[in-house]
Structure 1
Amino acid sequence: MAVTTKIADLTGPGHTDRFGIGGTDLGIVTTAPDGRLVAVFGDTFERAGVGGPGWRSPVVLFADPDGVRSGLRWTGSGGDAAEYACRLVNKPSTNWFRLHRRVTTILPTDVITVGDTMYLHVMANKGLGNVLWSEVLASRDNGVSWERTGCEWPGEHCQGLFQQLTWEHGGDGHVYAYTTGFQRRDGLLLHRVPADRITERDAWEPWGFAGERWDWGNPPTLTVPGSFGELNLRRVPGPDGREHLLLTFFDAGNYRIDAMLLDLPTADLHAAPRTTLLHGCGWDDEDHDRGRVAQLYGGYVVPGSTLDDLHLVVSQWNTTTNWPYRSMQFRTDATELLG
């Protein structure tokens, strides 16, 4: 197991007050076309904790890419307010107009940059874990403002295993996406889409097993069973001078955050090298300098990381007291995945 230590709290009092953020979670990070880091957060409140005034989701904060190793430093926020981190999308879609009385929150699952456009996959929920639909948002101004693209999937798409999503460039003109449900009880599916057709639902193609072989266009088939939660697929340089495909994820069944090293997006996940980065624990057993975090989830790679200096954004929510409810940055060395 990797040795993982806490670098800093990223949100909460003393960190994000000036953006109107007291309590928030997630913090999915990518690099904008202009080079800034863009972090997307989920349910956000003005006071520390869950509940109270100023609820919105999702929201964006910007960070300086030079500050990764000492802890992300926030330089601004998304939306049309000078400092206040605004909800990213306010204009209703047809679904929103029809279902707005039922939707309780819209949560981000992953964000990617393709050329001069950023794409954000989100899921609309009626209560946590009950996904009504998911969709792709787009930003053409480096994550400041976002719009709906019309690319939507019902919550039951792929038998409910296309709700949480993580994606990365494949180096072959395609974007590859691992997906699962939002209930933290299912395994993973794999899809691909041409990078220039992300917002065309019909361009998405499943990876599946049929006729005694795996192939694109077959019915979607689990690539690996499990109880997967939040997912993050990223290309990360290694000390061997190569770029590696790293999948980090919350393993709800084992109450920990793990990572797998993939040689290809279509790698056999049963055989992929795997390690534990952080262990969940009780509130009396926490030790953030030894990788033990109570009620942890998330686990998003910070751009600028390497396998031997891997930085993750990790969430924590005390569901009994509603504080802590925050995102934190941890650092680890994951080179053991290279064997």
Structure 2
Amino acid sequence: MHEPHRFRSVRPDGRSGGSGRPHPPSRRSLLRSAAAGSLAAAGIVTGAPGAAATSRVTGSKVRDLSGPALTGRFAAPWTDLGIPVRCPDGSMLFVCGDTFDGGGVGGPDWRSPVALRSSNAAPGSLVVDGAVGGSRAVGLVPEGHTGGTTAIPSDVFTVGPTMYMHLMRGVIYETHHTDFWRSDDNGETWQYLCQWPGGLHGGQFQQKTYAVADDGYLYVLSTAFDRDVTSGLLLHRVRQDAPGDPAAYEPWGYAGGAWAWGNPPTTVTSPRRWGEICFRAMGGGYALTWLNMSPLDIRAQFFATPTSNLFTTAEQTMIVPTVPGRETGNAVASPYGGFIIPGSGVDDLHIVVSQWYDAQNYRVMQYRVNGLDGPAR
């Protein structure tokens, strides 16, 4: 697909201030050299930075979660990301990115984000049987796509009766700002809370993911949102009653010979080119999954506390790339995403993986991963 259109001014509600016809999503080549030099079906890939540890990891596809036959009845046959979140009512919501009707990517009725719902939230029984908006999955927030802008979700999570959603706004990979929304009706409607400038912390506060801890805090990992840019991984914390207050976010950083809260934020692991990231509290510890860009794979780390040393924590490869027609086990053509499905655990991890290699192969899928090593205790 063609290079991004230049960004036109964006108002706080995310609408473009420019004029002109909407364009299909102007993404750079989604995963350059997606399978180059990596046709392995085993989950072991090495390379710098942060070579993935040798392991017994295996994986397999459970099901497609989207596609014409599955989500076409919600006017969402073509969609991606599908960030899974358990709603207060017990259903599972999949919050998706750029979504189209018609014959493929770039078709009519471009919306982002949208939300598809499974009334059964058990990881082994997920089936999309509803959508926010009913027979037409509606855009969850105002976004006209004028000048090629869009609203890409980076995370959705639940605290008590409230759901929160973080969005990256602007032309893809030219993030003007990010904003934060809340829902008190299981994701049916969303209210704007706040926003952050795209250049904050050198752009490394654009893509955010939140772990809901049992100590009253949300722990937040963040990177730049541009797969072509090397970024650190920053850590902040915020009280669970104040995620909509930008001033309440406290950074974790290294200064004066020590790590401490309140220091200027510094990267908590080796800088690299990041795709999607997902940070979750799990089984008394924490899990981080992400799309690694070089070498291309989807990885996981498991650790005991939010401030554990990620420089030395093993990186375990869950999904490896291949070419269309050679997909088997945990080898996926043009994979991205890798969001943890609530209710799964280290010993039986279910993740949402996206795929896009042509206009008709753009979907959300569920994978099951086994053989992962949990955090050291």
TM-score normalised by structure 2 residue count:
0.81
Looking at structure 1, the residues matched to 146 and 68 of structure 2 have their Cα atoms a distance apart, in angstroms, of: 32
Unmatched 5+ stretches in structure 2: 1-54
Q: Distance in 2 between matches of 1:16 and 1:145?
A: 20
Instruction: Tell me if the contact between 2:67 and 2:77 (Cα under 8 Å) persists in the aligned partners.
Output: yes
The two structures, once aligned, show a CA RMSD in angstroms of: 1.7
The CA deviation string for residues 109-145 of structure 1, in whole angstroms up to 9 with x for no partner, is 001111211110001022x211010010110101111
Question: 1:83 offset after TM fit, Å?
Answer: 2.3
Higher relative contact order by CA 8 Å / sep ≥ 6: 1 or 2? 2
CA distance in 1, matches of 2:333, 2:134: 35
Count of aligned positions: 318
Aligned amino acid, residue 306 of structure 2: P
Q: How has the CA–CA distance of structure 1 residues 66 and 195 changed in structure 2, closer, same or farther, with 3 Å as cutoff?
A: closer
CA contact (8 A) 2:279 2:289 kept: yes
What corresponds to 2:221 in structure 1?
Answer: 178
User: Matched residues in 2 for 1:281 and 1:194: separation?
Assistant: 42
Q: 1:328 maps to which residue?
A: 365
Is the counterpart of residue 207 in structure 1 residue 246 in structure 2? Answer: no
Report 1:123-138 matches (<5 A): 123-126=168-171, 128-138=172-182
Which runs of 5 or more structure 1 residues have no equivalent in the other structure?
238-242
Q: Is the 8 A contact 2:346 2:373 kept in 1?
A: no
Counterpart among 140, 143, 154 of residue 197 in structure 2? 154
- TM-score normalized with structure 1 length: 0.89
After the TM superposition, which residues 56-205 of structure 1 pair with which residues of structure 2 at under 5 Å, given as runs? Answer: 56-70=111-125, 72-78=126-132, 81-90=133-142, 101-102=146-147, 104-126=149-171, 128-149=172-193, 151-184=194-227, 185-205=230-250
Q: Percent identity?
A: 40
Q: Is the 8 A contact 2:238 2:249 kept in 1?
A: yes
After superposition, residues 151-300 of structure 1 pair within 5 angstroms as 151-184=194-227, 185-224=230-269, 225-237=271-283, 243-283=284-324, 286-288=326-328, 290-300=329-339
Residue 316 in 1 paired to residue 352 in 2? no
Match of 1:30 in 2: 85
Find the residue that maps to 1:123 and give its secondary structure. Answer: strand
Cα distance change, pair 270–232 in 1 and its aligned pair in 2 (3 A): same
What secondary structure is seen at the aligned counterpart in 1 of 2:70?
coil
Aligned residue for 1:336, secondary structure, equals coil
Deviation at 1:281, TM superposition (A): 2.4
